[in-house]
Amino acid sequence: MLKELNQVIEYIEAHLTDDLSLESIADYAGVSDYHFRTVFFHLSGMTLSEYVKNRKLSEANKDLLNGEKVTDVAFKYGYQSVDGFTRAFKKWSGYLPSDVIKKRISKSFPKLSFIITVKGGTAMEVRMKEMPAFYIVGVSKRVPIQFEGVNNEIVKLAQSITEEQRKAMHALQNIEPKQIVNASYDADENFLKEEGYLTHMIGVLTRNEEISDQLDKVRVEAGTWAIFPNEGPFPSTLQETWAKTYAEWLPASDYEVIQAPRFSFTTMDKNKKDDAYSEIWLPVRKKK
């Protein structure tokens, strides 16, 4: 996929002054918008929209140094007004567009280039599984997005589960994996920047449509799941595996991630206080 990513970078460069939508970039890459934005973020460390904005403003800085008028540059790079461009430029660079012209100061943001870096040499285990449509049922809550450490809001959600809810969940559990899972879905737009909220559900998988009114449910369509087993200190090993699925496995695989609940389950090691066995279940589909 590195070749394709570099081709997309060139596509962005050629269309910086056009109406460049994230959807059009993903279409050019030949994958879903959600998949491309996710992989791009985990490989580059920034969102796709941030990259496009940085490149536009960097080129705008060059044009201003070359004597182009602020008004012309603002509209050239798709801003609806000079004020909007000025605010964006000031936030990005720390100075006004007029300062570029008067004081000949500048800031640049070079285009990206993706290269292969060999790291670690650690094998990543994965198995693929076709699943029928099912429900995840349990207790859910909107929680802050957090990639590292213990999410206290999820801890509070787990502590809120009543014995009656627990019994109701176990009675419904009838599809693999027959474990209590932690599922997340419906993330806010800025989830890749670790901002905003998502819905977190602690529950079980079931084919039953009728559930207790004490529980929430979300339907998951039939599809393919990439399953990543991992074992080690909790929660760091689980969180590192989540990151590796996006940064290492997805770019090299024939699959793309889809917008559907993703989930994991964890079984603590009774002999080692902080160690656990976990599995990550990621909803995917073959690339077109």
Domain 2-103 indexed as CATH 1.10.286.10: no
Residue 46 CA to residue 134 CA, distance in Å, equals 34
Tell me what pLDDT residue 193 has. Answer: 52
Tell me what pLDDT residue 271 has. Answer: 78
Q: What's the token pair of residue 221?
A: 């369509």
127-286 has the same fold as 2-103: no
According to the 3-state scheme, what is the secondary structure of 235-285? Answer: CHHHHHHHHHHHHHHHHHCCEEECCCCEEEEEEECCCCCCEEEEEEEEEEE
Tell me what pLDDT residue 88 has. Answer: 94
Q: What's the token pair of residue 224?
A: 């393919």
Tell me what pLDDT residue 115 has. Answer: 64
Number of separate helices (H) and strands (E) present in the chain: 11, 9
CA angle 8, 195, 89 (to 5 degrees): 60
Q: Which sequence spans correspond to the domains of the chain?
A: 2-103, 127-286
- Tens-binned pLDDT, residue by residue, of the chain (288 aa): 567 788 889 999 999 999 888 888 888 888 788 788 888 887 777 888 889 999 999 999 999 999 999 999 999 999 999 999 999 999 999 999 999 988 888 888 888 877 655 455 455 789 999 999 999 999 999 998 776 667 889 999 999 999 999 999 999 999 999 999 999 988 876 555 556 788 999 999 999 999 989 999 999 999 999 999 998 888 888 888 888 888 788 887 889 999 899 999 999 877 777 889 999 999 999 987
CATH number of this structure's domain 127-286: 3.20.80.10
If we measure between CA atoms, which residue out of 23, 19, 22, 21 comes closest to residue 78? 19
pTM above 0.85, yes or no: no
